[in-house]
Amino acid sequence: MRILVTGCSGFLGGEIVRQLLSRGDDVVGLSRRETPELVRAGMQHHRGDLTDAAYVQRTITEVDAVIHTAAVAGVWGEWRYFFDNNVVATRNVLAACQNSGVTKCVYTSSPSVTFAGGHQSGIDESAPYPDRWLCHYPHTKAIAEQEVIAADTAGGLRTLSLRPHLIWGNGDPHLVPRLLERARSGKLRIIGDGQNRIDTVHVHNAALAHLCAVDTLDATPESAAGRSYFIAQDEPVLCWPWIARLCETYGEPPPSRHISYRSAYAIGAGCEAVYKTLRRKSEPPMTRFVAAQLAKDHYFDITAAKQRLGYEPRVSMEEGLAELAVTDLARNAF
């Protein structure tokens, strides 16, 4: 197929492109940043802004499918910034698909679209969207996800949404570096009792899920379209021992000091209030969302993705962690 990937310069988007190219698909990438490595590998690249409807319409043409991974993530920032980049951009992508006769669109969402601050212990896709939001990112992703699902049309554009959780792996520029920086600076605290269980997903598996989704929409759309799917390793782990192992892999001190969830949440609320009053754009040292994510269960039942999309993780937790350790040793050797 000829497949267009938005956000191709990102961690997940780049891995999706590499997997598509490796199996022989013709790939077009859209992003704001240059991607020379992927262009050399065979991807056609268009640089631009997805909030520009005219640009999106010009670019999304003569393709069989779109994988829309581009988004703005984070726990702090202006509503308009998140809304434009997560909702308006998605509307532009959907409109361009519909106008150009594209028949398949896979949207990259997040499990946080169902997170209101409480435990999520083995939940499936029947979990509702919350009535309140702890930050703008999950709120805007939920709005976009609902519009993607609503756009699914039998005989026309078929859509679905994937919710990969805590993507990590070799080359991760987000999750692992953020944890390591906090550990290195002594700012990382175990929040709550340290027994909360979480899901993660290796970047190879997260990308594979997107290929499974495209292929299913192409072959048997009636079995999978118009739905959302949790995507994970299918190996829930205790959050803080897992973080400790990551720290040890990179030679950083694992967290040992504790703070209660109630205290961390209160500190987060206070920081948010101060930063909002002072109109500070930098991220507060703690927020309510971060406190809840680090103290509560969030692991998921991925039966639907397995049964409807044929998704099965290929890189196990142990294999992924071993890869990180080997990569770190190689880096230190030079």
| Burial class of residue 276 in the structure, from the number of CB atoms within 10 Å of its CB (0-12 exposed, 13-18 middle, 19+ buried) | exposed
User: Is the separation of the CB atoms in 41 and 25 below 8 Å?
Assistant: no
In the predicted model, what is the mean pLDDT of residues 64-77? 96
Q: Which of 178, 172, 147 lies closest to 160 in space, CA to CA? A: 147
Distance CA 231, CA 163 (A): 5
| Residue 116 confidence (pLDDT) above 90 | yes
Q: Where are the alpha helices (DSSP H) in the chain?
A: 11-22, 36-41, 53-59, 79-82, 89-100, 136-150, 175-185, 203-219, 239-249, 261-278, 288-295, 303-309, 317-333
DSSP 169-220: -TT-SSHHHHHHHHHHHT---EETTS--EE--EEHHHHHHHHHHHHHHHHH-
Tokens standing for residue 53:
């409807």
Average pLDDT, the chain: 94
Q: Which of 81, 107, 129, 137 is catalytic?
A: 137
In the predicted model, what is the mean pLDDT of residues 302-310? 98
The CATH code that applies to domain 2-168+201-232+300-314 is: 3.40.50.720
pLDDT tens per residue across span 147-195: 999 999 998 999 999 999 999 999 898 888 888 998 888 888 999 999 9
- In this structure, what DSSP letter does residue 50 have? T
User: What local confidence, expressed as pLDDT, does residue 330 receive?
Assistant: 39
Residue with tokens 């056609």: 44
Q: For the whole model, what pTM was predicted?
A: 0.94
pLDDT tens per residue across span 7-35: 999 999 999 999 999 999 999 999 999 99
- CA distance to 31, 113, 131, 153, per residue, from 163 (Å): 21, 9, 19, 21
| Residue 329 confidence (pLDDT) above 60 | no
User: What local confidence, expressed as pLDDT, does residue 168 receive?
Assistant: 95
User: What local confidence, expressed as pLDDT, does residue 327 receive?
Assistant: 62
Q: Is 137 a catalytic residue?
A: yes
In the predicted model, what is the mean pLDDT of residues 99-119? 97
User: Is the separation of the CB atoms in 282 and 104 below 8 Å?
Assistant: no
- CA distance to 17, 162, 163, 173, per residue, from 29 (Å): 8, 19, 21, 19
